[in-house]
Structure 1
Amino acid sequence: MLESSHNQVLVAFSIIVAILASYTALNMASRVSSTSGKTAMWWLIGGSFAMGFGIWSMHFIGMLAFNLPIALGYDVPLTLISLLIAIVSSALALYLVCKDTLPTGRLVSGGTLMGLGIACMHYTGMEAMLMTPRIIYVPWIFVLSIVIAIVASIAALWLAFRLRQDSKRTTFTRMGASLVMGCAIVGMHYTGMAASKFPLNSFCSAANSGIDTKWLAILVIIVSLAVFAIALIISMLDVRTERLSNSLDEATNELIELALHDNLTRLPNRILLGDRLEQAIHRAERSNGEFGVLFMDLDGFKAINDMNGHHAGDLLLKEVAQRLLKISREEDTVARLGGDEFVLLMEPDSPENSALLAQRLIDTIAQPFHISDTPLHISASVGIAIYPQDGKTEHELMVNADAAMYHAKQQGRNGYRFFEHAMNADVQLQMQLQQDLRQAIDNNELVLHYQPKFKAPNGPMIGLEALIRWQSPEHGFMTPDRFLPQAESSGLIVPIGNWVINEACRQMKVWSDQGHNDCSVAVNLSAVQLQHISLVEVVDTALEVHELTPTQLVLEITESTAMHDAETSLKVLNNLSALGVSISIDDFGTGYSSLLYLKQLPANELKIDRGFITELAQGNDDEAIVQAIIALGKTLGMRIVAEGVETSEQQSLLTQLGCDTLQGYLLGKPVPAEVLFTSVKAELGEELAAEKAVALTPIIP
């Protein structure tokens, strides 16, 4: 037999190519399994070629590394057939691993076919040498090479199936698996070569007419590496593109979710509810059916939010949302519009069922809530509008259900009302009022009246409180209780509040120029104003423009206003106090009465709520409460003001208890600026004529 040898450099390259071919095969398996349709088909075709060419090139480089003492060559047709066999075997492997499951039977049978295909490729490539006489194979080694091919193929299929999902951990595992698979393929090839024996008189018929081996080894290595590189680069680009696409899809879905759902409760928001309503209207039109819209508002939620903080309020709203979902049907829509307003769309449904659900809803909300181990009690007011009799558009149904809810609140809350067309008049009136209010500032319809404050018991006048009025051409003369709620709900309270600050400072400048510079003017601040970022600047600008000293301005806030967002309020109030203006706590005793925050507030005046003054008498509970409030204020170094003084008995008793300042109809009603000092002088003259009577008569009859 002819003695054979191997080129060690080419052997090393064959091992490298085998490992790269294995890694490419595993990578192709992941791409085929992660795609579908035509994309998966193209990956199967391209992957089969890359994987098959890789296995074949390893084999062929190994053949080129084989040396005999005779000239060697390779028949082109048989060489190409061996390449085709490798590609077909690779296609079978990729097809098997892209399935959802790979049971043992399919694994063994598929691995056997693939192993036989690789063995067939190898020995077809050997036949491409066209040896005469024919190559002699050692039977047991020949069989061993086939067994190795089958075992290696089964292992390769199993690894490819297990490692077909892309991840950082899988990438490193895939590298290790490629090393094992590459060595197994190399082992099969060189075992097959060891089985080959060449007689002494052998010669190669393809040596002259076949492929020249001098440049073929380099060409195959370069082409193999190029194929692997192209396949892997395309695969990595596809993976990155797929990941980017998935990330974009996830981001898009998340944005859509955020755009259509309430951030707190994850219920559908106003936008999604509007779409559901439009769809419900179309379905009801086609079927001549009905459906109900239930507009729900929580009774007492603001008080809970103020008393327990926004965190507790948010937890309560989440729990309310869960209760609503539990009592609603699968086909219903439960949405949150914002704040404590919820809407239930019942589709399809009748007025009777809507009433039953509304009552269930009210009963469910009435059950105690346990938030942070604290039992909380609220109720619900529900308005019901039925399609089509109560509205044929989404807007009409929502407005009418809202109007019905408003009437449920007016009738005592904790109940429901069906919409009635008479309710529209109230809704239209409120909307018109809000629209007119928007123009009130520009049209100079807002005015300030001023109520004097006197040093106890009966003077002199030491301060004024600015009280807003609206002289509307459409609605007549209105006090703040009639229009400020509309200003609060519409957001107009900020520009109106800023106007009040500026107008009060302007009027104080007029009075100062007239010689009345021993008084201060008090302005009430709303919770919305106190949270607004521009408040400090507005106050500072008003003082500067009208050349007032800061001590001439007093800003009044209620306890509830200060505690609405305690940390933010404290920061804003400290900034206002730094300007030099006085801070007064209005309606004290009706809100939090939180000593922890009260002692931190930069307030220098405490104003007792009129509710404690109305029934004030010697020896009753109100006297004890007022006495305690005065003692508290004095301890904190505050001036004490009592408002709502209407009788001489109240005037006398409050003076005895230690009140510094008195304000009320007994001493003077709110009057326009131009008559204020004239009226006060007239009242003081009458008082002297009445031998210093304790009570001052009202300024305006």
Structure 2
Amino acid sequence: MLVSSYNSLYVLLSLIVAILASYTALNMAGRVTRTQGKASALWLAGGSFAMGTGIWSMHFIGMLAFQLPIELGYDLPRTGLSLVIAIASSAFALWLVCQKEMPLSWLLVGAVLMGIGIAAMHYTGMAALLMNPVVEYVPSLFVLSVLIAILASGAALWIAFRLRGEGKYINRARLCSSLVMGCAIVGMHYTGMSAANFPLGSVCGAVNTGIDSKWLVVLVILVTLAVCAIALIISMLDVRTSLLANSLDRANSELVQLALHDNLTRLPNRILLNDRLEQAIQKAGRQKSQFAVLFMDLDGFKLVNDTYGHHTGDQLLVEVATRINNAKRGEDTGARLGGDEFVLLIDLAEPEDAAALAQRLVEDIKAPFVLGRQTVHVSTSIGIAIFPVDGHTDHELMVNADAAMYHAKEQGRNGYCFFERTMNINAHQQLQLQQDLRKALDQNEFILHYQPKMIAPDGPMTGVEALLRWNSPNWGLVPPDRFLPLAERTGLIVPIGNWVINEACRQMAEWHALGKGEWSIAVNLSTVQLANAGLVDIVRTALQSNGLPPRFLTLEVTESTAMRDAEAALIVLDQLSALGVSISIDDFGTGYSSLLYLKRLPANELKIDRGFITELAKNNDDAAIVSAIVALGKTLGLRIVAEGVETSEQQEMLTELGCDILQGYLLGKPMSAQGMLESFNTSSNPAAATGPALAVHRYD
């Protein structure tokens, strides 16, 4: 037998090419898997060519590494046939690993077929030598080489199937797997080469008619590297393109999300709600069905914003949106219009369905919200409009649901109302009133009236309480109980309240300049004002700009206002007290105050609510309550004021019970600044000049 040998450099090059071919195969499997249709077919064809060329090149370089003491050549047709076999085997392998599943039976059949294909490629390439006599093969090594090809093919198929996706470490895994697969392919090739025996006197018939091996190795390596490199570069570019396309898709989706959804709560916004509303109208028109629009507005949200800041307010809105989503059904639409306004669009069989959902929402939102270290309480008012009874267009339904919501607020909040036709009139009036109220401050339509406060039992006068009046050119003299709730709801109470504080200080300073230096003035603070961060600065500025000593200003805070957020109220009231102003607890006895907090409040005065005074002379429990309040106040060192004194019997009893100061129509009704001055100059008791006015409607 002829003695054979190998070119070590060519052997190393064949191993490198085998590894490169394996990596290309794994990469192509991933590309074919992630594409569909025509693109998938193109990747399968291109991947088969690149992978087959790489495997064939490894085999051919290995053949070129083989040396005999005779000149060798290769028959072109048979060499080309071996390349076709390599490409066909690669195409089968790629097709197989790109299936959704690969059962064990498929893996075994695929390994056998691909292993036979690779073995056929190898031995067809050996036959291209055209040896005479023919090559003799050692049966055991021949079988072993085929088994190695089958095992290597099975391992390659399993690895390619497992690594066809994308992941953080997928390229690293493919590289390691390529080393294993390349070594297996090389092992099969050189086992097959070892099985070949060449008898003495053998002659290569392809020396003159075949391919010259002297320069062919360089050409094969360059072509193989070019094919694999092109395949990998195209694959990488395709990956980048796919990533870019996915990024653009995500960006477009995010833009659509931003355009159609609220940024804070992720609920649909007004634009998407209008679209859903139009669709619901068309659907209900076709099917002769009905649906409901629930318009929701939070009660007390502005107070939360002013007290805890906008960050907490935003957290509250997110939690409210979550509760709305939990309460509604999957097919319903919940949207946020802005601020603390939400809308639900629901299909219904009967109006009772809307009432049931509204009641559930009222109960859910009334439950406490735990936001970090804060526990917040709000409620909701809901207006319900039903298509087609309450409107045939989206605009009509929204306007009517909004009108019903405002009616729910007027009924006491924390509830729901169905729309009624009469509500539109009230809604338009409320809207006009709100618009006029916004102009009233700029147009100087507000005035203050003053009610005397007398030392018990009948004087002298120690001060006055400032009472706000709105003299509107369109509405006339508007009672406070009509416009103050609207001012609270819209936030206008803050600038209006600031004007009241400044005007009261100005008027009292003017009276002091006229010789009334013993008078003081009391001003009511609303809940929203007390929660306003700038209140202390407003009071300080009003006192300084008008030259009024702080001790002549009393700020009245209702018991319920002070106790709503006792800790926050304590901070503000302590700062106000530090300015030197007096603090009065108004309407005392009507709330649920904690005596611990009451003791901590920097109050100088307790003001007994008029509700206890009205029934005082009728031998009921009110006298005992007033007596207890007076005793409590005296114990805490507070001045006791009783308001709403309208009869002599009340005046006498309150004096006997220990009240320090009395206020009411018996002693003097509210009047303008000029009227107050004229009344004082006429008599030391303003009631003597004005007379009792028990039948006059009170606006204080």
CA RMSD of aligned residues (A): 4.9
1:25 to 1:521, Cα distance in 2 relative to 1, 3 A? farther
Tell me, yes or no, if the aligned pair for 1:73 and 1:212 is still in contact at 8 Å.
Answer: no
Q: What is the CA-CA distance between 1:438 and the residue it aligns to?
A: 1.9
Identity %: 57
1:177 to 1:614, Cα distance in 2 relative to 1, 3 A? farther
1:357 is aligned to: 353
2:97 is aligned to: 97
Letter of the 2:207 partner, please give it. Answer: S
CA distance in 2, matches of 1:82, 1:683: 128
**Gap runs ≥5 in structure 2:** 306-311, 371-376
Tell me, yes or no, if the aligned pair for 1:27 and 1:235 is still in contact at 8 Å.
Answer: no
1:2 equivalent in alignment to 2:2: yes
Tell me, yes or no, if the aligned pair for 1:556 and 1:586 is still in contact at 8 Å.
Answer: yes
Q: TM-score, normalised by structure 2?
A: 0.79
CA distance in 2, matches of 1:544, 1:241: 65
SS at 1:185 equivalent: helix
Tell me, yes or no, if the aligned pair for 2:589 and 2:608 is still in contact at 8 Å.
Answer: yes
CA distance in 1, matches of 2:398, 2:412: 22
Alpha-carbon displacement from aligned partner over 1:435-470 (angstroms, at most 9, x marks no partner):
222221222212222333344554454444332211
Tell me, yes or no, if the aligned pair for 1:668 and 1:700 is still in contact at 8 Å.
Answer: no
CA distance in 1, matches of 2:117, 2:174: 24
CA distance in 2, matches of 1:430, 1:476: 15
1:168 to 1:476, Cα distance in 2 relative to 1, 3 A? same
The aligned runs of 1:430-579 (5 Å cut-off) are 430-562=430-562, 564=564, 572-573=572-573, 576=576
1:291 equivalent in alignment to 2:287: no
Which of 208, 212, 215 is the matching residue for 2:215? 212
2:180 is aligned to: 180
CA distance in 1, matches of 2:10, 2:353: 83
1:106 equivalent in alignment to 2:106: yes
1:259 equivalent in alignment to 2:262: yes
Between 504-513 and 469-478, the greater mean CA deviation after superposition? 504-513
Q: What is the CA-CA distance between 1:244 and the residue it aligns to?
A: 3.7
1:403 is aligned to: 403
Alpha-carbon displacement from aligned partner over 1:485-532 (angstroms, at most 9, x marks no partner):
222333333333333333334434434444545544443333334444
Q: What is the CA-CA distance between 1:474 and the residue it aligns to?
A: 1.1
CA distance in 1, matches of 2:660, 2:622: 18
Tell me, yes or no, if the aligned pair for 1:605 and 1:638 is still in contact at 8 Å.
Answer: yes
1:413 to 1:601, Cα distance in 2 relative to 1, 3 A? closer
Tell me, yes or no, if the aligned pair for 1:384 and 1:405 is still in contact at 8 Å.
Answer: yes
Tell me, yes or no, if the aligned pair for 2:317 and 2:340 is still in contact at 8 Å.
Answer: no
SS at 1:432 equivalent: helix
The aligned runs of 1:295-314 (5 Å cut-off) are 295=294
2:26 is aligned to: 26
1:144 equivalent in alignment to 2:165: no
2:309 is aligned to: none
1:391 to 1:208, Cα distance in 2 relative to 1, 3 A? closer
CA distance in 2, matches of 1:39, 1:557: 76
Alpha-carbon displacement from aligned partner over 1:151-173 (angstroms, at most 9, x marks no partner):
22223222332333323365555
CA distance in 1, matches of 2:148, 2:272: 63
1:422 to 1:197, Cα distance in 2 relative to 1, 3 A? same
Alpha-carbon displacement from aligned partner over 1:56-95 (angstroms, at most 9, x marks no partner):
4444454454444455566676656545544443333333
Between 125-134 and 586-595, the greater mean CA deviation after superposition? 125-134
1:319 to 1:585, Cα distance in 2 relative to 1, 3 A? same
Between 428-437 and 416-425, the greater mean CA deviation after superposition? 416-425
Alpha-carbon displacement from aligned partner over 1:620-667 (angstroms, at most 9, x marks no partner):
533444455455555666554443333444445445555454433333
Letter of the 1:357 partner, please give it. Answer: D
1:61 to 1:657, Cα distance in 2 relative to 1, 3 A? farther
1:36 equivalent in alignment to 2:36: yes
Q: What is the CA-CA distance between 1:476 and the residue it aligns to?
A: 0.8
Q: What is the CA-CA distance between 1:397 and the residue it aligns to?
A: 1.6
Q: What is the CA-CA distance between 1:373 and the residue it aligns to?
A: 14
1:230 equivalent in alignment to 2:233: yes
SS at 2:453 equivalent: strand
1:155 is aligned to: 155
1:55 is aligned to: 55
2:665 is aligned to: 665
CA distance in 1, matches of 2:592, 2:472: 36
Q: What is the CA-CA distance between 1:472 and the residue it aligns to?
A: 0.9
1:676 is aligned to: 676
SS at 2:442 equivalent: coil
CA distance in 2, matches of 1:389, 1:606: 53
CA distance in 2, matches of 1:317, 1:7: 76
SS at 1:524 equivalent: strand
2:197 is aligned to: 197
Letter of the 2:292 partner, please give it. Answer: V
1:127 to 1:538, Cα distance in 2 relative to 1, 3 A? farther
CA distance in 1, matches of 2:410, 2:464: 35
Q: What is the CA-CA distance between 1:381 and the residue it aligns to?
A: 8.2
CA distance in 2, matches of 1:85, 1:554: 103
Q: What is the CA-CA distance between 1:102 and the residue it aligns to?
A: 2.3
CA distance in 1, matches of 2:511, 2:294: 51
1:367 to 1:217, Cα distance in 2 relative to 1, 3 A? closer
Q: TM-score, normalised by structure 1?
A: 0.78
Letter of the 2:55 partner, please give it. Answer: I
Q: What is the number of equivalent residue pairs in this alignment?
A: 679
1:217 to 1:366, Cα distance in 2 relative to 1, 3 A? closer
